[in-house]
Structure 1
């Protein structure tokens, strides 16, 4: 009987040892589920499809468009049946503009290596309304181009190599974007009879005071936005249309604003003069006391005090100046007592930025008592 018990005990021990060795030899289960193989995602580039060539002759190959149902579709472009009036030739590494079909209203040529714009491709493109030439290498646009597209409304030619504003612009034009070029000249009459233009963007060029005459903007009766930021201006531009709504003059060398500069403006709502050379000496007391003004930006200047402004102003940027104190009684458009007794007199200021000055919290009580609509104060 004892022998039988010993036999079964030995058998049990043998089976347990076999199970242990079997566990050791068995491959371990992965602790994580292996990822499935996915097709890599390549975001559509915002610039050229391939790296910018280092040399003028080092161009990447032209990228051909897909087959098209339109027989007049250039081989380098995309002609979508869903948008028969659009010709999409952006990001194709093309050097010259292909022949534009008659049916084209919207022409996209941005992000290529085009060096000049001639009239030949536009011979039949008389219906074009929108041309985007941004981010090329354009140094010349022939005057005759605009004779072929007399009803052009939008011309975008920013980020190129133009040295002057193109001549012969059509009178139909509503928006003209020429930012980030090398423009240092505006030919006389460049904006002649352009009464439909609402937006003129000359940001980041090389314009000086001598390039902006009294009559440069004379004919721009419908102009609403003028962007002359990041140029070499030392004075406020002359002859700016008085119907303007937005005036951007950031990053120039302006140190003075004439006393009555804004007096005749009827709709001016946004003024940006950040990063100039403005000091208290260059700002007459009430120069910004304009009833239509809603947003005033004077950041990164040399101001030592808060300028006077209208009770209608809603946003005031004064950060990174040399302001050492702020007095609510002095800058309040009305007396504190009047504001406290009549809710209709409470100024509209909602946002005030004062960081980067020589100020320390707390905000003076008279500032809070006057500007009771303030939602945010940065100090």
Structure 2
């Protein structure tokens, strides 16, 4: 009888524990941060909050004039293609975890950005402000930033020290603004120790920027009015792979001997300039664009970065050039035989 009573008590305890455990699990489930039902009430009515992507907020193409209050859970914020003119801290009071903000194609002016509004976002990695009405680079910016895209604005000013704390920035896009030579000083890009891509194309420069970060891999300077490159300009840029200087005013006199003889450089674009000669290149260069200049002849022996090899050579000992574009000049076919003897890896020559 005692055994039966003991078993009954144990059964009651077991059942009680089971029910309690189930209740705890239900409470935990209700607090699941990825349970969409918890967040539906805090989605701004002007925006779309996808249930499958609770950390994203889509407010793009909604004809918004102001930024709504951004919920605390948001990491990715899409506000492009609206009529937004101001960016204030009030909208981001709770949004302390933001990693990505897209504000492209709005009407934001430099005066419309509240001082420090971006620098308070300590987790921000990507900031897109293309196609707005900015007159200067917004500053200060958070040290966490990895990409800053400011193309197609009206930027003429870069505040002193605007980039000095951006040690994590890898991409800086300033193309199609109104930057002048006087805008850029030797300290402008100081502090950008991780920068890999710099785009200053389609501005109003007549000179090369006075100092660039040594670690840049891709450099875009096309569609300016640059006339010359200083001697030894690229000597410290040991990682430069891609260089674009199309649509400038470069002449033979403006290019010092061996200025492009850069061991890391693989792609060099010099289209639409005023060159009459082919500049000296590195043995490692793979793509060379010289179309639409004033070149009237090609001497393969002079162009070859090494003495023209004999009949029996290993591929690793010959220049790496694979693509050569020379159309739009005054060159007439056929292609010189010594050019082919030098560049034995050529796959395409456009004349």
Q: Fold-level match, TM-score > 0.5?
A: yes
Listed as ranges, the matches of 1:125-164 within 5 Å are 125-139=95-109, 140-164=112-136
Q: Deviations over 1:65-114 (max 9, x none)?
A: xx996111001100011000000000111110000000000000001110
Residue 337 (structure 1) aligned with residue 306 (structure 2)? no
Q: Is the 8 A contact 1:100 1:125 kept in 2?
A: yes
Q: What is the distance in 2 between the residues matched to 1:339 and 1:88?
A: 63
Structure 1 stretches of at least 4 aligned residues deviating more than 6 Å after TM superposition:
none
Q: Corresponding residue for 1:116?
A: 86
Helix, strand or coil for the counterpart of 1:173? Answer: coil
Residue 183 (structure 1) aligned with residue 155 (structure 2)? yes
Q: What is the distance in 2 between the residues matched to 1:271 and 1:327?
A: 24
Q: Corresponding residue for 1:92?
A: 62
Aligned to 1:82, which of 40, 43, 52? 52
Q: Is the 8 A contact 1:251 1:276 kept in 2?
A: yes
Q: What is the distance in 2 between the residues matched to 1:91 and 1:321?
A: 43
Q: Corresponding residue for 1:356?
A: 328
Q: Is the 8 A contact 1:69 1:81 kept in 2?
A: no
Structure 2, unaligned runs of 5 or more: 1-36
Listed as ranges, the matches of 1:3-22 within 5 Å are none
Q: Is the 8 A contact 1:334 1:345 kept in 2?
A: no
Helix, strand or coil for the counterpart of 2:182? Answer: helix
Aligned to 1:372, which of 339, 344, 350? 344
Quick one: structure 1 residues 263 and 338, their matched pair in 2 at CA, closer, same or farther if it must change by over 3 Å? farther
Residue 148 of structure 1 and its aligned partner are, at CA, apart by 3.5
Q: Is the 8 A contact 1:339 1:345 kept in 2?
A: no
Residue 116 of structure 1 and its aligned partner are, at CA, apart by 1.3
Aligned to 1:246, which of 205, 218, 242? 218
Aligned to 1:70, which of 40, 46, 63? 40
Instruction: Normalising by structure 2, report the TM-score.
Output: 0.87
Residue 360 of structure 1 and its aligned partner are, at CA, apart by 1.1
Q: Is the 8 A contact 2:116 2:141 kept in 1?
A: no
Q: What is the distance in 2 between the residues matched to 1:343 and 1:201?
A: 38
Residue 149 of structure 1 and its aligned partner are, at CA, apart by 1.3
Aligned to 2:197, which of 221, 225, 237? 225
Q: Is the 8 A contact 2:309 2:341 kept in 1?
A: no
Q: Corresponding residue for 1:22?
A: none
Q: Corresponding residue for 1:317?
A: 289
Helix, strand or coil for the counterpart of 2:288? Answer: strand
Residue 337 of structure 1 and its aligned partner are, at CA, apart by 3.3
Structure whose CA Rg is larger: 1
Q: Corresponding residue for 1:104?
A: 74
Q: Corresponding residue for 2:16?
A: none
Helix, strand or coil for the counterpart of 2:198? Answer: strand
Q: What is the distance in 1 between the residues matched to 2:315 and 2:127?
A: 48
Q: Is the 8 A contact 1:340 1:369 kept in 2?
A: no
Helix, strand or coil for the counterpart of 2:115? Answer: coil
Q: Is the 8 A contact 1:180 1:204 kept in 2?
A: yes
Residue 165 (structure 1) aligned with residue 117 (structure 2)? no
Helix, strand or coil for the counterpart of 1:116? Answer: coil
Q: Corresponding residue for 2:271?
A: 299
Residue 339 of structure 1 and its aligned partner are, at CA, apart by 7.7
Q: Is the 8 A contact 1:100 1:124 kept in 2?
A: yes
Helix, strand or coil for the counterpart of 1:377? Answer: strand
Q: What is the distance in 2 between the residues matched to 1:242 and 1:147?
A: 26
Q: Is the 8 A contact 1:227 1:248 kept in 2?
A: yes
Residue 291 of structure 1 and its aligned partner are, at CA, apart by 0.5
Q: Deviations over 1:314-333 (max 9, x none)?
A: 10000000000010000111
Helix, strand or coil for the counterpart of 1:107? Answer: strand
Q: What is the distance in 2 between the residues matched to 1:318 and 1:190?
A: 36
